[in-house]
Amino acid sequence: MRNRILLAMALVVGAGLAAAAEKPESLIPFDKLDSAAVARVRKVVPGYTFYRKLRTPHGEFRSRRDVFEYLGDHLDQTSILGQQLNVVKFRCERLPDGSVWADNHAGARGFLWPLYAAPGERLFLVHGSDRSGEAVEGYSVVFVRYQEPEPGLIHCEVHAFVKITTFFRRFLAGLFLPLVTGTVDRRFSEVLSIPVLVSKEATLNPDKVVTLIDSLPPADATKLKEFRALLNRQPPTRP
């Protein structure tokens, strides 16, 4: 038990030193954010519990860039298609304030607010909880950067600043740091995989996806009308 405590303390101190040395918060484009977005980011940065450069299972993939961007910006629509393609079992819901609500019905749920969008960059605030094991709740600022090294190939990296609001209040909670970071990796990978996998299918088999949209109930098909039109257009050419 004593060795586990010492190991956990080393992990916590090591993570803090790495964060201090590398200044990962300098990645966040504060100078491009409006005051409301800055206020939301400041819920987490500075003061985050830990930083992660996520090792997503789809760091590089084949997709039309415009299709990937649309699906990433419209997770509620993406989840409709994702259910039909067996990529995801739950739906995301867009709320009147522009946020997105998701519940995987397996213990994880939360809200996502888009804060900033520019070519090759997206910034989000997430407030979520996971009760599939030890209960964890908190906020995250998630910065996504992507580029197209060659036509139809997307390279994506994800930076997450996580502020735990419940779990780390416990005595010697550092013991569970590997568990919590593992949970963060799994949940973000789960959400980020949805637009990646749907965009890959839509790029490879656009006619199949258009036919799928046309077979949906009218309310769902109407939501995807704009995306259907996008698929029917020729992809933009690189300058």
Has this prediction a pTM greater than 0.85? Answer: no
The Cα–Cα gap between 148 and 231 comes to: 19
Residue 63 has pLDDT above 60, yes or no: yes
Q: Residue 105 burial (CB < 10 Å; 0-12/13-18/19+)?
A: exposed
Q: Which CATH number fits domain 2-202: 3.40.462.10, 3.40.50.620, 3.30.530.20, 3.90.1150.10?
A: 3.30.530.20
For 133-187, the pLDDT digits (tens) are 667 788 889 999 999 999 899 998 889 998 888 755 543 344 445 555 666 666 7
The Cα–Cα gap between 167 and 164 comes to: 6
